[in-house]
Amino acid sequence: MLNVFKKASSTSVARIDPMEIEITIERGDRLLSSALDQGVKWPHRCKVGSCGTCKVILVSGDIKPQLNFGYVLTPEEINEGYILACQSTLKSDIHVLIKPRSRKGKERQ
């Protein structure tokens, strides 16, 4: 029999580098909120998608944006694969990279 009505998994796994950790995220929960709830030290300020501090590179996997990232991220950042962790729910297991930033908010070279 076909599994047409097969229930989707209720959790996904997020691998977070360079910390080399994995966390489990419930379906519908946002990446940043789940990570913070599990003790991950993730750079953030507003948690509502307006500051861009929580941006990460999506290395692999699929997310569902909860708002248009173009309001905060530049076209170049979007093309490089950046997402806003505070406004992303997972559609699959994912792998993200948090790039270190200097105190002035610029990425380190």
pLDDT in tens, 38-68: 999 999 999 999 999 999 999 999 999 999 9
pTM score of the predicted model: 0.84
Structure tokens at 12: 């996904």
Q: What is the pLDDT of residue 5?
A: 60
Query: Cβ distance 19 to 32 under 8 Å?
Result: no
Class (C level, CATH) for 12-97: alpha beta
Rg of the chain (C-alpha set): 14
User: CB within 8 A of 65, min separation 6: which ones?
Assistant: 83, 84, 87, 88
Classify strands 88-90 and 21-26 as parallel, antiparallel or unpaired: unpaired
Task: Note the pLDDT tens digit of each residue in 64-93.
Answer: 999 999 999 999 999 999 999 999 999 999
